[in-house]
């Protein structure tokens, strides 16, 4: 098992038992194939039952697992070629947001996304995927460049939120995110965003106003994290599980609420179980989405984008 979540312990126990039986059979030259086959069938049944009945909080936990593909892994796995671009031309380069130009089936595309690390050292360098204002300004620079040269833009969302430190606020964190929201609403080129893990708060929204929003099966997307919502609603962050239940933040909830357009299935247990398969499926969905969007005249696309967001949150009593 690549993960160590509490609710997956029965699966780990059964996998350990199967491994022990195989080792015993090999070392003692005995045939335990029937017993092993029975346990493997039980394991498959257990996995089917567990992963088909996940609670919202369990999905949040899977979305936070290490080993899930990062933005750079998606881009480099999907593109034939990719050139990363750096800096916001104002303050510095923010490693928590990456972007550049890559070719996909002969089509030049601008790719932008949050970037997390694989280990503690890289996570510190990437600030755990929590962008500073210069990260959002870098994203804006690349968006404007894409608009100028008629390139579609694809975004990957995976962040705990924008960096909340005083240094970020001093450099205009809220202004940078607000500017991106306004710019993306009127960007004259097709745009797609893929929520690959966590999509928390304004940090996610800062690169999330797009023509199409796809959400991975175990991802979540919300204006606030469950722990923060619990701290506000019940003054106790330990109520995060309850908050996740009532907030409707899972991928299927997003589609039902007309926030996301489609759920991209993940391998059983999460993208971290088979990263290459996940990257391939995301690439296929992006190709299909761009093929559709590139056929729509820009003025019509802008009108559809306006109504897409204008209609979000509508309700009837």
Query: Using CA of residue 115, residue 254, residue 209, residue 110, what is the dihedral sign?
Result: positive
What are the structure tokens assigned to 36, written together?
């092993």
- The pLDDT of residue 27 is 83
Q: Closest Cα to residue 200, out of 169, 222, 168? A: 222
Question: Which residues have C-beta within 8 Å of that of residue 154, sequence separation ≥ 6?
Answer: 109, 110, 111, 112, 191, 192, 193, 194, 286, 290
- Residues 171-197 pLDDT 10s: 999 999 999 999 999 999 999 999 999
Kindly tell me the burial class for residue 173, based on how many C-beta atoms sit within 10 Å of its own C-beta (0-12, 13-18, 19 or more): buried
Are 1 and 8 in contact by the 8 Å Cβ rule? The answer is yes
**CA dist 249 → 80, 85, 119 (Å):** 34, 32, 27
Give the chain's end-to-end CA distance (angstroms, integer): 46
Q: pTM, whole model, 2 decimals?
A: 0.91
Tell me, what's the pLDDT at 315? 67
**pLDDT under 50: residue ranges of the chain:** 1-3
SS3 72: helix
Give the model's pLDDT for residue 317: 67
Q: What confidence score (pLDDT) does residue 1 get?
A: 37
Asked whether the beta carbons of 225 and 64 are under 8 A apart, the reply is no
- Tell me if residue 193 falls in helix, strand or coil: strand
Residue 65 vs residues 1, 3, 89, 200: alpha-carbon distances, Å: 12, 7, 34, 15
């Amino acid at each position: 098992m690549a993960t160590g979540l509490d609710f997956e312990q029965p699966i780990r126990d059964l996998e350990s038992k199967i491994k022990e039986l195989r080792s015993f059979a090999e070392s003692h030259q005995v045939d335990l194939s029937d017993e092993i086959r029975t346990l493997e069938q039980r394991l498959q049944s257990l996995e089917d039952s567990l992963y088909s009945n996940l609670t919202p909080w369990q999905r949040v936990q899977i979305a936070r697992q290490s080993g899930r593909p990062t933005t750079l892994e998606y881009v480099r796995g999907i593109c034939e070629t990719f050139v990363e671009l750096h800096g916001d031309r104002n303050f510095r380069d923010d490693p928590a947001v990456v972007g550049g130009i890559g070719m996909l089936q002969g089509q030049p595309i601008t790719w932008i996304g949050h970037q997390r690390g694989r280990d503690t050292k890289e996570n510190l360098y990437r600030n755990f995927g929590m962008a500073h204002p210069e990260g959002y300004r870098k994203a804006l620079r690349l968006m404007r460049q894409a608009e100028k040269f008629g390139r579609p833009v694809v975004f990957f969302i995976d962040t705990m939120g924008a960096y909340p430190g005083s240094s970020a606020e001093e450099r205009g964190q809220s202004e940078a995110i607000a500017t991106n929201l306004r710019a993306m609403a009127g960007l004259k080129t097709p745009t797609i965003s893929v929520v690959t893990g966590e999509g928390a708060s304004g940090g996610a929204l800062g690169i999330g106003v797009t023509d199409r929003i796809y959400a991975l099966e175990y991802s979540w997307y919300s204006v606030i994290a469950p722990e923060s919502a619990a701290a506000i609603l019940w003054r106790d962050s330990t109520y995060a599980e309850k908050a996740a239940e009532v907030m409707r933040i899972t991928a299927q909830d997003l589609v039902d609420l007309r926030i996301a357009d489609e759920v991209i299935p993940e391998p059983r247990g999460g993208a971290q179980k088979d990263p290459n398969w996940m990257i391939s499926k995301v690439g296929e969905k992006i190709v299909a989405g761009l093929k559709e969007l590139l056929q729509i005249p820009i003025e019509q696309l802008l009108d559809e984008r306006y109504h897409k967001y204008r209609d979000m949150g509508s309700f009837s009593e």
